[in-house]
Structure 1
Amino acid sequence: MLDRPTDNPRPVAVCRPDPRVALGSEDALRPPDQRHRRLRQDLGGRRGPGDLLAAAGVPNAVIDLDWLRRAWPSPPHDRFNTGLTLRNLRAVAGNYLEAGSERLVLAGVVESRQERAGYLAALGVDDLTVCRLRVDLGEVRRRLTRRHELDEQGLRWHLDRSGELEAILEQARTEDFTLDATGLMAPEAAEQALRLTGWLPPAQ
């Protein structure tokens, strides 16, 4: 677990095997202004990572990065308001850490090594762990078709984006590990991700 020295009011992540921040990415299930809606449902809702860590007695906070970027319009050179997201994250994460959180779970997407470095700098910690939640692309598209059956334009955007993001993440390889969540229910995905991260003990 995190070493919180009593003579230092700011917690410090002491080594990579015991990181303080995990960022999970669900590939392909993001609308244009809410790229992380599905991940929030999968990992930030009922029996999500925050609930599981709380049940284990671990002070924590869950941050949906989508809420930190929700402003319109975005700059022409910054399609998903990444700059604004990082500025907001710096403030929000700092508040949670000052309030005593020992674990931060970020629901979002990391599309490049440069973006990963930006999150690390904004958090002000020594390291973070990126978990990629992968769902079979065919299943992703089936879910999108059901979800947007009355929104032809939105469905077309999502279907195009799902393939685009799959290719981006395959090439970028920003994750530390990948969890195949195709056949998992939301609580199962959350629990397995935390165990792989080392924040929960292995299942007996």
Structure 2
Amino acid sequence: MSDHRLPLLWLCGPSGAGKSSAGWEIFAQLSRSGVRTAFVDGDQIGLCMPLPEDRAHRLRARNLAAMWPNLRLAGARCVVLSGFVHASEEVGEYTRLLPDAALTVCRLRVDPGELKDRFLGRGWRPDLLAEAVADAEALERTDFADVCVDTGGLTVAEAATLVRARTGLTEPACPPDGSGALVPSGPVLDPAPVLWVSGATATGKSTAGYEVFSRLVRSGVPAAYADLKQIGALRPGTGDDPAGHLLKARNLAAVWSGHLAAGARCLVVSGDADRDETVRRYAELLPAAALTVARLHASPATLAERVARRGGGGGPALPGDELKGLGPAALRQVAERAAADAAALDREGAGDMRVDTDGRSAEEVAEHILTTWPDHPERA
């Protein structure tokens, strides 16, 4: 074990306080300055259902602890975590499993009026507004956080800068020492179905993948979901793993082990699978998985329309969407690259299944995948 404790900044607060946005901005600021930083969204490492509410933090803590040695091996000097937490007992679930983390918990807050405006402005699940306001009021009565920062009236960049100033997170001193060993996923007697939803940019892999996961859960299948981009965010990249696939594969194996222990029967993954070699790298770390790659395809016109929509803020609200806010010229370049990538994947016959998404909603794409997936757990 290294003598150096790895800084871990945990941004918490009610929905709408800006914890994911500010967390990603801090990650971006540090990485731009040359500090190799990792970002972890707590929700993204705990997507396993059904799961009793009192076990949510236990699963997230276990999965973060399993990812921790991988982040150290990749040379991370700092980890930024965003996610809800309500009490010191919940924080303790993590600190018990991360003895070499220098943890700072920063609670973000905002006045009720602005919180309501932010929540409704997202256009997603307005029915949860009352719950968010009640959550904010309850958090105001707590004292478990090390620092509390009011983000009212601030841009995302201003909030991130203020958090860094209040927490002292400027230039983390922990050097990339490469300490720690990989955490094996443990023996699995029977191969478990794993569906990897892939495709070029803007084919809708994250949206369709999450819809497949949701449908499995609604049908009574204990299932887990992972977005590769959300479990392997590390910048600057390393010379031997520029695309981050090795770190993502290791983290996927670590998180999947936790989901299996929590009772999941299958895993849905969304993310890039650009070459057969990439898929093999993941498969080697998931040796007991019955892996099926469903490659989504879309025409150049459809890709251009979807890229433009995401540039305007449409699509799922995930931290780090690099299309959001780009100008028309930059978005056209992204769409052209996506069309070229889609054509190349088509020529190579990539994936086990090809799913055309033109003119189809995410629900229709998910339905098609589920009816053609050979290892669908309900048919296993």
From the CA coordinates, give the structure whose radius of gyration is larger. Answer: 2
Aligned to 2:26: 49
* Structure 2: stretches of 5+ with no match in the other structure: 172-380
The structural deviation recorded for 1:11 is: 5.1
- Equivalences for residues 22-101 of structure 1 within 5 A: 22-29=9-16, 38-44=18-24, 48-75=25-52, 77-78=54-55, 81-101=56-76
- How large is the RMSD of aligned CA atoms in angstroms? 2.2
Q: Distance in 1 between matches of 2:155 and 2:10?
A: 19
Which residue number corresponds to residue 234 of structure 2? Answer: none
Distance 1:105 1:57, change over 3 A: same
Deviation at 1:170, TM superposition (A): 1.9
State how far apart, in whole Å, the 2-side matches of 1:11 and 1:101 are. Answer: 15
List structure 1 segments (4+ residues) > 6 angstroms apart after TM superposition: none
* TM-score, normalised with respect to structure 1: 0.74
Taking every aligned residue pair, what percent have the same amino acid on both sides?
28
Taking the aligned partners of 1:59 and 1:145, their CA distance within structure 2 comes to: 35
2-structure distance, mates of 1:170, 1:155: 22
Going from structure 1 to structure 2, the CA distance change for 1:147 and 1:57 (only over 3 Å counts) comes to closer
Q: Is the 8 A contact 2:40 2:79 kept in 1?
A: yes
CA distance in 2 between partners of 1:188 and 1:29 (Å): 16
Would you say the 8 A contact 1:25–1:131 is kept in 2?
yes
SS at match of 2:49: coil
- Structure number with greater CO (CA < 8 Å, separation at least 6) is 1
Q: 2:312 corresponds to which residue?
A: none
- In 2, the alpha carbon distance for the partners of 1:91 and 1:192 equals 31
Structure 1 residues 198 and 146 mapped into 2: Cα distance closer, same or farther (>3 Å)? closer
Amino acid paired to 2:142: A
Letter in 2 for 1:190: A
Q: How does 1:39-188 map to 2 (within 5 A)?
A: 39-44=19-24, 48-75=25-52, 77-78=54-55, 81-125=56-100, 127-148=102-123, 154-156=125-127, 158-188=128-158
- Corresponding residue SS for 1:191: helix
Aligned in 2, Cα 1:12/1:62: closer, same or farther, shift over 3 Å?
A: same
Normalising by the residue count of structure 2, what TM-score does the alignment of the two structures yield? 0.42
> Hey, what's the Cα distance between the residues in 2 that align with 1:94 and 1:168?
34
Render the CA deviation track for 1:74-103: whole Å, top value 9, x for unaligned. 22644xx22211111111122112221121
Structure 2 vs 1, CA of residues 166 and 196 (structure 1 numbering), >3 Å: closer, same or farther? same
CA contact (8 A) 2:115 2:133 kept: no
Q: Matched residues in 1 for 2:101 and 2:68: separation?
A: 14
SS at match of 2:40: strand
Match for 1:106: what amino acid?
A: L
Which one-letter code corresponds to 1:162 in the other structure? A
